[in-house]
Structure 1
Amino acid sequence: MAVILSVSGSPSATSRTTRLLRHVDHRLVRHGHLVEALDVRTLPAEALLGADTGNPAIARAVAQFERADGVVIGTPVYKAAYSGLLKALLDLLPQYALRGKTVLPLATGGSTAHVLAVDYALRPVLNSMGAAHITQGWFVLDRHIGVREDGGTELERETEVLLTPVVDAFAAALRPHPELSAVG
């Protein structure tokens, strides 16, 4: 079992990006991994923008990165790049906060014109932070993420079919957390 941190860089409380991440989280749990969610928008704005790593909420977020074996980074695409909210978090983390970690970058947006944002905007930053392995990222159109009557997330069928092997490859690439593997 690996510990995965699932990070939403969306500023919206009703975010399709966050819906996509929680959908992916459920699949990763079915693979036997432990998933922790971090919605960056819930961190105190002043501490986040001021890079106040002494703030308890910010310190907890930094500790979540330290504990994680893998990180799923989800962001909406604004102006051909990942969100400024996500950038603020990545900027306050230690330079090599992703060292030794497997990372899955995901992005959402309203147009296929933004599909390259994962590879040209987000991947270089994740690489500079020392990620051991950045798996194939994926971009999902907002309109392909829906809400079921029960409140759950439903992906457009083709999106689900294409995203599933991406998530499964990330799950397979994870190294188990030593302390959790020894238990049970």
Structure 2
Amino acid sequence: MSVLLIAGSPSARSRSQALLDSVGHRLQRRGAQVGSVLVRDLTPRALLLADVSEVSIAAAAEQVAQASAIVVATPVYKAAYSGLLKVFLDLLPQTALKGKTVLPLATGGSPHHMLALDYTLRPVLQSLAARHILPGVYATDAQITVTPEGAYQVNPEISDRLDDAVGLLLAEAYERSSAHADFEAIPFAQVRCSV
């Protein structure tokens, strides 16, 4: 199974990147093939001008298309996910997440922004036809601390939630991919009911 990690932070060193890295390590330990898209490394001009034919943008969109599941991480700014992530998601085809299980992750300065996952990010992921969006993991600055060496460290509570989220992501993605192999879709017009 291939899982694509999408980093929506404009900073290379950030708490949301620490969450994403932590999920990536957990996925690899459980045998998943993990790839990543660092939106901040895509060509800025192409992002802003919506040039989907530009090499880095086209390659990132192809990675999204090929992945079985997606993990999206973003910092929360002004009660919403990052503008950088928004620009990238806007460039994807309308059905870019069709058939995929998605795990959203976010970080913010306080617990007051926790609902940004449900009220700002989830609707956009839904509009991209995600099959299943898992409950997100939100962490505050106090839950991802900086070590004396300058690295980010996820606290035990968030670490446990990430363990659960990764387990659910793998189970859901596997279940949904194997369900498609067993049954063909039935058009609604052919469904017969009796009451």
The TM-score, its normalising length taken from structure 1, stands at: 0.90
Q: Does structure 2 conserve the Cα–Cα contact (< 8 Å) formed by 1:23 and 1:153?
A: no
Instruction: Find the counterpart in structure 2 of residue 84 from structure 1.
Output: 83
Q: Alignment partner of 2:50: what SS?
A: coil
User: Counterpart of 2:30?
Assistant: 31
Alignment of 1:59-98 (within 5 A): 59-98=58-97
Deviation at 1:13, TM superposition (A): 1.8
Kept after mapping to 1: 8 A contact 2:97/2:128: yes
Equivalences for 1:134-173 in 2 at 5 Å?
134-148=133-147, 153-173=152-172
Alignment deviations for residues 120-150 of structure 1 (CA, whole Å, 9 cap, x no partner): 1100110111001111111011222235567
Match of 1:130 in 2: 129
Shift of 1:151: 6.9
- The separation in 1 between residues aligned to 2:50 and 2:94, in whole angstroms, is 13
* Conserved? CA contact 1:135–1:170, under 8 Å: yes
- CA shift, 1:64, in A, is 0.4
1:6 maps to 5
Which 4+ runs in 1 deviate beyond 4 A? 147-153
Unaligned runs of 5+ in 2: 179-195
Q: Please name the residue that 2:191 is paired with.
A: none
Structure 2 CA distance for aligned equivalents of residues 157 and 142 of structure 1: 14
Larger Rg: 2
Amino acid at match of 2:143: H
User: Could you tell me the percent identity over the aligned residues?
Assistant: 49
- Which structure ranks higher in relative contact order (CA pairs < 8 Å, sequence separation ≥ 6)? 1
Aligned Cα root-mean-square deviation (Å): 1.8
Letter in 1 for 2:68: D
Amino acid at match of 2:57: I
What SS does the corresponding residue of 1:174 show, helix, strand or coil? Answer: helix
How far does the alpha carbon of each residue in 1:17-55 deviate from its partner, in whole angstroms, 9 at most, with x for none?
A: 111101110001111100101110001110011110111
Judge which range, 126-135 or 165-174, deviates more: 165-174
